[in-house]
Structures are given as C-alpha cells and as structure tokens.
Amino acid sequence: MAKKKGLKILYDCDACPAYCCSYARIIVEDKDIARLAKYFGISRKEARRKFTKKGHEPGERILRHRRDDHYGTACRFLDRETRQCTIYKARPGICGDYPGLRKCGYYDFLKFERMLQEDDEFVPTAYNP
Ligand code: SF4
Ligand code: SF4
C-alpha cells in the first residue's frame, strides 16, 4: 500500500479485496503499538493485549485476526464490507511499506485468476466456509 515516486505502480489496491491484510504474520513493533494506543486513547499495555498476539519468534507480536468471508481470517482492523483499513492513519509501519516494489505478488495472482475466470471481480481463496 505504499507509493513509489516517479515509477509506474503495477498494482491497484482499489481493485483488490485487501489480500495482504489476510496475511497471518503481520509483525508490529513497539512504536506501532504506541501509535495504536495513542489513536485509541488507551495504554500501550492494553493496545498490545487487545490488538496483537504472540508471533512465531521470541518477543514477536503480530496483529490479531478475525473472521473474514474471503480469506477465512484477516486483520481485525480490516472493514469486511468496504475492504478498507479502519485505522489507516495509525496502521503499523509494515502496512504502509508493503509491497515496497512496483509490483504486488498478491495482485499479480488476483489478476491472473480474474483473467482465467473472465471475471473482473473474482476473488480466489483457499478458504471453504
Ligand atoms: S494485496 Fe497488493 S494490491 Fe491488494 S491491497 Fe495489498 S498491496 Fe494493494
Ligand atoms: S492494519 Fe490496516 S493495512 Fe494493516 S493489515 Fe490491518 S487492515 Fe490491513
């Protein structure tokens, strides 16, 4: 969801149901938790508990998920209807940095599947409700 100056971006977040927000391991740093705490007017400890959980690596914290119709689960801050981030200004740094290139792998996959299905709104998913 980052923009690179002067380079043509080859993905379109507005045409994507926020595939990247379904990634299970969205790592948050202490500064991200501090930003979330300030945004919601709660303590860092509360923000850490409420919005994050233990990751795979020692000391790692990742964003909590909740159920999602497309992907089974997705970040708890994703609006399930609009597919927009509900805390855009306070989102973790990694969310602002991604994909960090002109291309987005998720978007390439989405485009390919939509071309195969001949359906511009098709959402491929491995999730079977
Ligand atoms: S998966 Fe890629 S195209 Fe889709 S919202 Fe994320 S950055 Fe944008
Ligand atoms: S904080 Fe926002 S941008 Fe980051 S994963 Fe969650 S919904 Fe997506």
Domain spans, the chain: 23-98
SS3 56: coil
Q: How far is the CA of 89 from the centre of ligand 2 (A)?
A: 10
Verify whether ligand 2 is closer than 6 Å to residue 78 (CB atom): yes
For residues 49 and 101, what is the distance between their CA atoms, to the nearest angstrom? 32
Q: How far is the CA of 85 from the centre of ligand 1 (A)?
A: 12
Task: Give the pLDDT confidence of 7-54 residue by residue, as tens digits.
Answer: 789 999 999 999 999 999 999 999 999 999 999 999 999 999 999 999
pLDDT at 125 over 80: no
Which phi and psi (to 5°) does residue 27 adopt? Answer: -80, 135
- Which of 98, 102, 121, 123 to mutate to test ligand 1, by most ligand atoms within 8 A of the CB atom? 98
For residues 62 and 48, what is the distance between their CA atoms, to the nearest angstrom? 9
Tell me if the pTM is above 0.85.
yes
Query: Which string of DSSP letters, residue by residue, matches 62-106?
Result: EE-EEEETTTEEEETTB-TTT--BTTGGG--HHHHH-S-SS--HH
